[in-house]
Amino acid sequence: MLPSFCTLGLALFVTQSYGHSTPLTIPAPGKHSEPVERDLQSFSIEFAFFPDYAGNRSNPNKFSEHLLENFQRITGVYPRVRVGGTTQDKSNYYPDQEEGIQLVFAKPTDDQPSEIKYGPAFFESYHTLGDIKFSHGLNMAQNASLHQLQLAAVEACTSIGPQLDMYELGNEWDLSGDDYRPANYSLLDYVNEWNEKSAIVKAATQKACPGLFPGFMAPSFVFIDGMTTWTAEELYNLDYDPHDLTKEISFHNYMGVFAPPLAPVSYDLQKTLMNHTNIVDNLGLQIQRMKSLAHLGHPYILGETNSIANQGRDGESNVFGDALWVVDFSLWAAANNIKRLNFHQGLNYRYVSWQPIASEGQPPETRPPYYGHIMVASSLGHSENNRIVNIPLKEDTESAYAIYDGERLSKLVVVNLNAFNQSTTTGRPSRKYEFKVPGHYQGSTVERLIAPGSDALTNITFGGVSYDYDLKQGRPVTLDWKKERADIHGNMLQIDVPDSSAVLLSLI
């Protein structure tokens, strides 16, 4: 689908300007600011739907391959992919099963199957997407046979080989313990069970695949408000993981939950996702926990994250406003030293970055959030020594970041989070920003993340590029878009940012 608005250029957007009266000073990176990994933007794919996303040897999913390859081109590295989620604790491995995967749905309208059986052919899906490092989710819930757990771990290390980055044993047991275990199952019971089963996985793996044990992402807790009494501090006080098999500390994160009672969707989009203050509040808990667990000496990641839990909400997590949320959320997390963000995906989910195959009447499609990820990856580029600093602004509905390559200020990002409805006919407001930049720059290139409105589902571009399925199956297609440049006059760089859009300025 070729967006027709692009030929109109920016004239369409700039109807009235408002903004900051004084120029903005750009802070230097603080002394605690750590380099940002280029695979910050990574993915998590729901265990049951991994074959839909990746395909298999005879039927690789080229669309997913292209979409992941785009990151490799922009940053030099592939995103990492975690294969896991709720369905990992419902997935049992059967070495004699011929089909890669069998799904049983309790009700046909359910988002997820209630039972999953997988066989050796499932692991073909780890070899269709490129040079990606994967984590394989193991089922901690099944208690019928420890041998089955060993078989699954061994098949993972032999089949995935050097691309096996980590294991994961159990998903969100702070919530799910009750689903699989008696109501009195305690945090100590969890610790004992995880310790015992992780040791079994390690022993089996080392026998079958000698060499360095890959380790686990753990504990994969989510801590949704009011739904558990367990805490991370208590967990690590209870002799959790005594042999230090954890490679990365993983917690899950969502901005809200798709469950009643619900505010109107457009209200929620502005208040929950298109709201810098709310993002800062939401990630505050993770950042605090990361600091309190720093003594463990492992990277702290969001092993599964996305906007609205329970697979997202139409009109909020599947629209362009969510892409702007992705940009602000990711840059704020990275500026605060969270090491990786695995954005969760699943077939027919309402918050995904792409629908990998046709299903339930929905065609394969690049969805708005994907463009947010591309913008974040572009703001990092190939540099291995990026640090990100937030530039404080006044309103809930705006944010800005400086990106330093080593000591050198290299890029600026501005996000205008004011919701703009694409059906509005009175013109699109725009905010003006003026930055005071060091003397030696001449100007900057300008790449915009833009769409007809925050409620738009299509016609989205970053830097004039579309990744739509219908154009080139997810490969970049540059649409007819004039190269834009911002000049610097007397150390001042000025830029207009239309409501519901973001801009990446690369200083030259």
Ligand X SMILES: *[C@@H]1O[C@H](CO)[C@@H](O)[C@H](O)[C@H]1NC(C)=O
* Residues near ligand X (CB under 6 A): 1-5, 56, 58-59, 99-100, 121, 143, 181-182, 184, 189, 192-193, 196, 266, 270-271, 275, 277-278, 281, 396-397, 421-423, 452, 455, 458-459
Q: Toward ligand X, which CB reaches closer, 193 or 365?
A: 193
Is the CB of residue 431 less than 8 Å from the CB of residue 19? Answer: yes
Instruction: Give min distance, CB of 84 to ligand X, in A.
Output: 20
Q: Toward ligand X, which CB reaches closer, 239 or 487?
A: 239
Q: Toward ligand X, which CB reaches closer, 275 or 379?
A: 275
Spell out the alpha helix ranges (H) of 209-318.
232-237, 265-268, 276-292
Q: Which are the contacts of 270, defined by CB distance < 8 A and separation ≥ 6?
A: 321, 397, 417, 419, 454
Instruction: Give min distance, CB of 411 to ligand X, in A.
Output: 26
Instruction: Give min distance, CB of 489 to ligand X, in A.
Output: 33
Instruction: Give min distance, CB of 454 to ligand X, in A.
Output: 7
Instruction: Give min distance, CB of 114 to ligand X, in A.
Output: 18
Q: Toward ligand X, which CB reaches closer, 101 or 380?
A: 101
Residue 59: enclosing H or E segment and its boundaries?
Answer: strand 59-60
Place of tokens 């990092």: 380
What is the token pair recorded at 250? Answer: 């993983």
Q: Toward ligand X, which CB reaches closer, 61 or 379?
A: 61
Distance CA 476, CA 464 (A): 10
Encode 227-258: b = buried (16+ Cβ within 10 Å), e = exposed: ebebebeebbeeebbeeebbbbbbbbbbbbeb
Q: Residue 368: name the closest of 320, 332, 325, 431 by CA.
A: 320
Instruction: Give min distance, CB of 377 to ligand X, in A.
Output: 24
Q: Toward ligand X, which CB reaches closer, 128 or 345?
A: 128
Instruction: Give min distance, CB of 189 to ligand X, in A.
Output: 6
- Residues 270, 271, 276, 280, CA torsion sign: negative
What is the token pair recorded at 175? Answer: 């919530």
Distance CA 221, CA 253 (A): 9
Which amino acid makes up residue 149?
Answer: L
- Strands 134-138 and 164-169 come out as parallel
Which amino acid makes up residue 437?
Answer: V
Q: Toward ligand X, which CB reaches closer, 311 or 461?
A: 461
Q: Toward ligand X, which CB reaches closer, 59 or 491?
A: 59
Q: Residue 484: name the closest of 451, 452, 447, 450 by CA.
A: 447
Instruction: Give min distance, CB of 447 to ligand X, in A.
Output: 19
Is the CB of residue 443 less than 8 Å from the CB of residue 485? Answer: yes
**Residue 460: alpha-carbon gap to chain centroid:** 19
